[in-house]
Amino acid sequence: MSEKRRLLHTPVEPFTIEPHASADQVLDRMRGISFQGRNLATAHDVWRKMLGDDCVIFLGVAGALSAGGLRLVIAQLITQRFVDCVVSTGANLYHDLHECRGRRHFQGSPAADDRALQAAHIDRVYDTFMDEEEFIENDNWIAAFASTLDPRPYTSRELLYRLGGHLWSETGRDGILTAAYRANVPIFCPAIADSSIGMGLSQARQEASGAGHVDVIGDIIESANIVIRKRRTASVVLGGGTPKNFINQASVQAEFYSAGIGGHQYALQIVTDVPHFGGASGSTLDEAQSWGKVAAGADQVTVNVDATVALPFLTTALASTSADICADRRRAAFDLSGREIILDGEAFPDGRFET
Amino acid sequence: MSEKRRLLHTPVEPFTIEPHASADQVLDRMRGISFQGRNLATAHDVWRKMLGDDCVIFLGVAGALSAGGLRLVIAQLITQRFVDCVVSTGANLYHDLHECRGRRHFQGSPAADDRALQAAHIDRVYDTFMDEEEFIENDNWIAAFASTLDPRPYTSRELLYRLGGHLWSETGRDGILTAAYRANVPIFCPAIADSSIGMGLSQARQEASGAGHVDVIGDIIESANIVIRKRRTASVVLGGGTPKNFINQASVQAEFYSAGIGGHQYALQIVTDVPHFGGASGSTLDEAQSWGKVAAGADQVTVNVDATVALPFLTTALASTSADICADRRRAAFDLSGREIILDGEAFPDGRFET
Amino acid sequence: MSEKRRLLHTPVEPFTIEPHASADQVLDRMRGISFQGRNLATAHDVWRKMLGDDCVIFLGVAGALSAGGLRLVIAQLITQRFVDCVVSTGANLYHDLHECRGRRHFQGSPAADDRALQAAHIDRVYDTFMDEEEFIENDNWIAAFASTLDPRPYTSRELLYRLGGHLWSETGRDGILTAAYRANVPIFCPAIADSSIGMGLSQARQEASGAGHVDVIGDIIESANIVIRKRRTASVVLGGGTPKNFINQASVQAEFYSAGIGGHQYALQIVTDVPHFGGASGSTLDEAQSWGKVAAGADQVTVNVDATVALPFLTTALASTSADICADRRRAAFDLSGREIILDGEAFPDGRFET
Amino acid sequence: MSEKRRLLHTPVEPFTIEPHASADQVLDRMRGISFQGRNLATAHDVWRKMLGDDCVIFLGVAGALSAGGLRLVIAQLITQRFVDCVVSTGANLYHDLHECRGRRHFQGSPAADDRALQAAHIDRVYDTFMDEEEFIENDNWIAAFASTLDPRPYTSRELLYRLGGHLWSETGRDGILTAAYRANVPIFCPAIADSSIGMGLSQARQEASGAGHVDVIGDIIESANIVIRKRRTASVVLGGGTPKNFINQASVQAEFYSAGIGGHQYALQIVTDVPHFGGASGSTLDEAQSWGKVAAGADQVTVNVDATVALPFLTTALASTSADICADRRRAAFDLSGREIILDGEAFPDGRFET
């Protein structure tokens, strides 16, 4: 009986509708329910804890979030430092650049006739349409940008910082790349070769043989050095993909050179993939503990929901409840203007892990 | 070029965070984005249109929504007549009854040791725990209730109306069953035999051989008669299951006896199952059009998200934006106190389809 | 170190292609791999164990398996007694009847224009088409059959036995219903009201007020009595739905009247739904242990795969490896010709649980 | 009526169990059924058509297939030239290398205690366990290998060819890397920075500043050059991820430099992700047509199933039915020993797209 009492301690509190409630008020009452609704409320609480603790918050961005209309949310998270370091797929940065350059994505239908779209030079991402000719023009723009760089390898982090600066000087528009540039928040893109940014870089090389070299192995070193230096880290992952694992491997690699780090102290993921097929995107945060990617005692939560549903409510709530905590937090101070990151006034060692 | 312009007409409007925004304000701006976020905003708009039109709104309830903390939301939708008729799984009604009788569900963990739970007589539904002994006591309570009924078959609709009345008189507490009783909103439960309510009824028969007869075929007739009489109908489906198809088959069956009805005018479903395995729960609303379950020109939307995430925000928004429309709407007036439903003052024919 | 050795005991044995290997040989080597491939191999082994043990094997059938081309597989499982008792959705029995009556389902496309299909009176289930006019004719046929029955409630089990007999005498064709009739294997359909069989029965009542009464509460009693009498049971579930829970609740209800049964000894499910939304279809077999639906020490396995992929290979393999075991097993002997089931020569009590 | 006849042309042919049937015989009869079973049969037919046509077949490998026991299947597909070019995640190559070096993966449980695993230095991928200390030793081995390379950027293709050669000379064991080395089949790994291979390379740089440079932008050029040169291509994708898009972008990039290629002529994907969240892994092949990644008239099929279930049966069937076609096909002849690929006797231009 006492075992039963011990297990049955917190009743489900049925949700009730209160008209005109704010997103944070709704989320507040969702703490009492079950399933993914509860997990979304917990995600708020875990993120808030991250902000109140002295840790570096990594944000992973995968899935077509920029094309789908979440790029300015991510820019706001960067500007207001709800996150400290971004790891993204190339596509999300490319689609961000596309809009920053004044082009648009369009609402369409998943049931569109794709042959007709191909004939009209329209590219589709589920229910979203894009003008293919504008994309070709972007690629040329990226190639031209790449031609202005020195003929040496750049980490994706350094390249994207310069790309953000170039975009800002040319457009003055908000977006992920420009916000990160202005806020000195590093962006890593380990799979840049699998994206239209990579395609644009490859086109630069057609003109100049040294152009468009990305040192993605250098990115591994830089990301691990952030963990080595700061030790306390948190992971916020949207959609899985390469960013999820890259953020986790930074912990593992850091541990290799500086024992005792022990994985992220906080972990939050919003994913739609499932664990039982063995893929990394859907893997549980418990599984990540076996690898030491996430600390054994970490505050963690997985929300199985499309980020386009979760993020508008979650970030609105967080901005309402945690803006003060966020403003007061001790932020990692990055200087990204050189070949090596300067963190809190001290440069990382030249092309090497900090030991 | 003009084909392209025709297709690229509505730009995606990137979402931005506005602290303290209300749920409806957040949802309002989600109209501009893509994927399931857009669909959730559309769901609000479709439901609002239903309310503004003169149609009977069916609500289907499947999945562990009552156990998971959404029973009072559903009760509010009934009380305020955001819906006119409910089709539910037995489990949702049973868990509603459980709480109405003053028992609780409890927050637990999906990683619990199920053998330990079994030993402690605790039943688990994902992350939610229940006291098995209280469940056994519920079953006895249902059996006792059934013994008070006449020894004749009852449609699930009539049975549940009486059950709601009995619960209300005994507890005076809000819930799905009691709200439907008080608001004269019919509840159908076609798969009542696959639930603990069915188990309770079967136990009544151990004492009295005529007890606990449910005339589920009569439910088919009653539900079709509602469609035949009112002709314009809408479907709001949470989670698929037997309620989804039962609501749809009412349209098909009505068409058989009264040609020209042509399917629901509006259809909205919040489901997590997918179409490509062929099951009814995940089937698309387009597919439903082939059957004539949903009208060819219907306003329709599918949101692929857990209802425990969608419903708190969607209903809060709807209560904010549409309370006046809802109050003013012409509501189907049910009298459920007899063996036959009286709808808008006129009884249905005795055990037969209205023709 | 010894803890590590204890945990790392069975190496993954990489699969190699051997041309012309039989399905059972392929499956045999899939035991060595991971993820759902391993689970499918384990499903074979668990089913084989069921057959070798003295237990009653329940088969749950949900999803559009009959329409999708698996009805004769299920008929073979019945005829050869790889299963002893079937619980099905109404749709699977209706689509079986449709083909038994010489009508067909057709291969189509999930991208078909559903308005055009509606106009042509073609009903679609994902990539499968059906002639709506033939369906209407089936419904009339079912109504006519129902008119031949006595004006009293029939359990779905008794009704479906008579329906199978009527089909067999009229068509002489193999199918689920006719195979079950001929092999004296009971079929339960607890959600019969949510199907076209239910619709046909409801139409019978238009002519004769006492027609088409299904005593689904009686089905609860009969299914539990099978468990009470035989005590050792196994569950093979395809696709979840009402059959999954109905098979499980039979164990729970049996336990209520005969303590110590303790749940199914073996459990195997082939499902595509996931656990984390809380629905019964996707729930784990571990969760079922908390309820006592599945025994604490049961041999159990979940395969997350579409049944149309799994079943052809799994049953071919099982028929190859286990035909002899199956032929030799002690089979529950049902006599289904009367109002009460006679099991192993002894009738169940009249409309009551056996105690 | 004639429209109906036109649409209802091919009846579903219900599957029947034939004991001892070979995998290809089972698959042959699965052509007649519906849903994913039909799709798996179609996958066989599409792949067979690829082999009979004069085209370059790309294989994309994502998900934990090597760890899960499919690495030798993939090696056989390479050796027997069922595929001509591989694009893989880093993890699949790393786990392949792990086993090639004589280490093992182990069968475990998804319900394992991950804190206990972490304490025992065991890493988990769903139901598969690995020895973390062996992984650290692999990383050192990779770092040592990298130190033997010239201090210049290598495309992942060139690097992996040399890694395969090194592995082969050291172990003489079969695997993906060694089979590709011996068969002169190129492997690309665009997201190598997001893997333990990347981690090993980064560790090489700790010793020698020029070490471990991977020119992933060069991979874009090389992969596009294969498409530009051969023009007719096919895509076989397991699990989505970066390989899926990288294979597709090769077509798009090739089109940029050599108009009229028009996308893959054949496309086959075995994926478990779904389209409606907008991610690339789950995107449909129809969507790929809008981009020109897949040709408008391509033979294509998506199978929604775990590759560990599909691949053993599919490849066994293919090896049975198509070995002769495969042996006779005109194969792209790669010479991978130099900095630039030599294809059919002619080298690609130095670091540039072929125009």
Categorize the per-residue pLDDT at C209 as very low, low, confident or very high, splitting at 50, 70 and 90.
Answer: confident
Burial of D137 (0-12, 13-18, 19+ CB in 10 A): middle
Q: Measured between alpha carbons, how far is A263 from A296 in angstroms, rounded to an integer?
A: 8
Categorize the per-residue pLDDT at B1 as very low, low, confident or very high, splitting at 50, 70 and 90.
Answer: low
The residue-averaged pLDDT of D342-353 equals: 96
Per-residue confidence (pLDDT) for residue A209, from 0 to 100: 87
Mutation site, B308, B311, B325, interface A, largest A CB count within 10 A: B308
Please state, rounded to an integer, the average pLDDT across all residues of chain C. 97
For β-strands A122-125 and A264-271, DSSP reports them as: unpaired
Q: What are chain C's partners, defined as 3 or more CB pairs within 8 angstroms?
A: A, B, D
Cross-chain residue pair A35–C304, CB shorter than 8 Å:
no
Nearest to B35 among D34, D36, D277 (CB): D277
Cross-chain residue pair B272–C274, CB shorter than 8 Å:
yes
Q: Measured between alpha carbons, how far is B66 from B97 in angstroms, rounded to an integer?
A: 9
Q: Is the distance from CB of B341 to CB of B77 less than 8 angstroms?
A: no
Q: Measured between alpha carbons, how far is D48 from D51 in angstroms, rounded to an integer?
A: 5
Nearest to B76 among A3, A7, A17 (CB): A17
Cross-chain residue pair D35–B274, CB shorter than 8 Å:
no
By C-alpha distance, the chain C residue nearest A277 is: C35
pLDDT of D62 over the 70 cut: yes
By C-alpha distance, the chain A residue nearest C35 is: A277
CB atoms within 10 A of CB C296: 14
Tens digit of pLDDT for each residue in A182-203? 999 999 999 999 999 999 999 9
Categorize the per-residue pLDDT at B210 as very low, low, confident or very high, splitting at 50, 70 and 90.
Answer: confident
A245 vs D contacts (CB less than 8 Å): 91, 194-195
User: Kind and range of the H or E element at D43?
Assistant: helix D35-52
Cross-chain residue pair D69–C26, CB shorter than 8 Å:
no
The residue-averaged pLDDT of A290-304 equals: 96
By C-alpha distance, the chain C residue nearest A112 is: C111
Categorize the per-residue pLDDT at D152 as very low, low, confident or very high, splitting at 50, 70 and 90.
Answer: very high
User: Kind and range of the H or E element at C88?
Assistant: strand C85-88
Per-residue confidence (pLDDT) for residue A1, from 0 to 100: 61
- The identity of residue B35, as a single letter, is F
Chain B closest CA to A216's CA: distance in Å? 30
Tens digit of pLDDT for each residue in B79-100? 999 999 999 999 999 999 999 9
Q: Measured between alpha carbons, how far is B51 from D112 in angstroms, rounded to an integer?
A: 50
Cross-chain residue pair C304–A278, CB shorter than 8 Å:
no
Report the helix count and the strand count for chain A, using DSSP H and E. Answer: 14, 12
Q: Measured between alpha carbons, how far is A288 from A268 in angstroms, rounded to an integer?
A: 12
For β-strands A334-335 and A342-343, DSSP reports them as: antiparallel
Per-residue confidence (pLDDT) for residue B348, from 0 to 100: 97
Burial of D346 (0-12, 13-18, 19+ CB in 10 A): exposed
What are the residue numbers of the active site of D? 293
Categorize the per-residue pLDDT at D299 as very low, low, confident or very high, splitting at 50, 70 and 90.
Answer: very high
pLDDT of C60 over the 70 cut: yes
Mutation site, A10, A20, A25, A35, interface B, largest B CB count within 10 A: A35
Cross-chain residue pair B193–C246, CB shorter than 8 Å:
yes
Mutation site, C31, C34, C300, interface D, largest D CB count within 10 A: C34
Categorize the per-residue pLDDT at A342 as very low, low, confident or very high, splitting at 50, 70 and 90.
Answer: very high
Nearest to C246 among B194, B203, B352 (CB): B194
Nearest to D35 among B34, B35, B277 (CB): B277
The residue-averaged pLDDT of B321-341 equals: 96
Q: Supply the CATH classification number for the domain B40-93+152-193+212-329.
A: 3.40.910.10
Q: Is the distance from CB of B54 to CB of B325 less than 8 angstroms?
A: no
Mutation site, C5, C27, C28, C35, interface D, largest D CB count within 10 A: C35
Tokens (6 digits) for C38: 């391993």
The residue-averaged pLDDT of A309-321 equals: 98
Tens digit of pLDDT for each residue in C226-239? 999 999 999 999 99
Per-residue confidence (pLDDT) for residue B209, from 0 to 100: 87
CATH T-level fold of C34-330? Deoxyhypusine Synthase (3.40.910)
Phi–psi pair at A188, nearest 5 degrees: -105, 145
Per-residue confidence (pLDDT) for residue A2, from 0 to 100: 79
Q: Measured between alpha carbons, how far is A286 from A298 in angstroms, rounded to an integer?
A: 10
Cross-chain residue pair A277–C34, CB shorter than 8 Å:
no
Q: Is the distance from CB of B348 to CB of B340 less than 8 angstroms?
A: yes
Nearest to D217 among A68, A198, A220 (CB): A198
Q: Measured between alpha carbons, how far is B108 from A63 in angstroms, rounded to an integer?
A: 31
Q: What's the start-to-end Cα distance of chain C, in Å?
A: 54
Residue C277 has what DSSP assignment? G
CA angle B306, B308, B311 (to 5 degrees): 100
Chain B closest CA to D272's CA: distance in Å? 11
Categorize the per-residue pLDDT at C327 as very low, low, confident or very high, splitting at 50, 70 and 90.
Answer: very high
- Chain A and chain D share a number of CB contacts under 8 A equal to 239
pLDDT of B45 over the 80 cut: yes
Tokens (6 digits) for D319: 């090896």
What are the residue numbers of the active site of C? 293
The residue-averaged pLDDT of B12-22 equals: 98
Tens digit of pLDDT for each residue in A91-102? 999 999 999 999
May I ask the CATH architecture of the domain D25-93+152-194+209-347? 3-Layer(aba) Sandwich (3.40)
Q: Is the distance from CB of C75 to CB of C176 less than 8 angstroms?
A: yes
Categorize the per-residue pLDDT at C210 as very low, low, confident or very high, splitting at 50, 70 and 90.
Answer: confident
CA D144 to chain CA centroid, nearest Å: 26
The residue-averaged pLDDT of D186-205 equals: 98
Tens digit of pLDDT for each residue in C259-310? 999 999 999 999 999 999 999 999 999 999 999 999 999 999 999 999 999 9
D104 vs C contacts (CB less than 8 Å): 8, 11-12
Cross-chain residue pair A35–B127, CB shorter than 8 Å:
yes
Nearest to B304 among D34, D36, D276 (CB): D276
Chain A closest CA to B286's CA: distance in Å? 10
Cross-chain residue pair B35–D278, CB shorter than 8 Å:
yes
Angle at which helix A90-100 crosses helix A132-147, to 10 degrees, equals 100
Q: Is the distance from CB of D191 to CB of D90 less than 8 angstroms?
A: yes
Nearest to D274 among B34, B274, B278 (CB): B274
Cross-chain residue pair C308–D34, CB shorter than 8 Å:
yes
Positive/negative CA dihedral, D179, D89, A263, A32? negative
Contacts of A133 (CB under 8 A, 6+ apart): A121
ipTM computed for the complex: 0.97
- pTM score of the predicted model: 0.98
Cross-chain residue pair D35–B304, CB shorter than 8 Å:
no
Chain A closest CA to C271's CA: distance in Å? 12
Please state, rounded to an integer, the average pLDDT across all residues of chain D. 97
Tokens (6 digits) for C5: 């050795």
Phi–psi pair at C7, nearest 5 degrees: -80, -30
Mutation site, C309, C315, C324, interface D, largest D CB count within 10 A: C309
Cross-chain residue pair A69–B308, CB shorter than 8 Å:
no
Nearest to C274 among A34, A274, A278 (CB): A274
Angle at which helix C307-328 crosses helix C35-52, to 10 degrees, equals 30
- Chain B and chain C share a number of CB contacts under 8 A equal to 239
Residues from C in contact with A at Cβ < 8 Å: 34-36, 274, 276-278, 304
Phi–psi pair at A14, nearest 5 degrees: -55, 135
Cross-chain residue pair C278–B125, CB shorter than 8 Å:
yes
3-state secondary structure of D208: coil
Tens digit of pLDDT for each residue in A224-251? 999 999 999 999 999 999 999 999 999 9
pLDDT of D275 over the 70 cut: yes
CB atoms within 10 A of CB A335: 14
- The identity of residue C131, as a single letter, is D
Residues from D in contact with B at Cβ < 8 Å: 34-36, 274, 276-278, 304
Q: What are chain B's partners, defined as 3 or more CB pairs within 8 angstroms?
A: A, C, D
Phi–psi pair at B223, nearest 5 degrees: -65, -40
CATH (one of 3.40.1390.30, 3.40.50.720, 3.40.50.620, 3.40.910.10) for A22-347: 3.40.910.10
pLDDT of B247 over the 90 cut: yes
Of the residues B4, B49, B244, B293, which is catalytic? Answer: B293
pLDDT of D1 over the 70 cut: no
Tokens (6 digits) for A68: 């789908």
pLDDT of C1 over the 90 cut: no
Q: Residue D253: name the closest of A326, B342, C252, A139 by CA.
A: A139
Q: Is the distance from CB of A322 to CB of A48 less than 8 angstroms?
A: yes
Cross-chain residue pair A22–B21, CB shorter than 8 Å:
yes
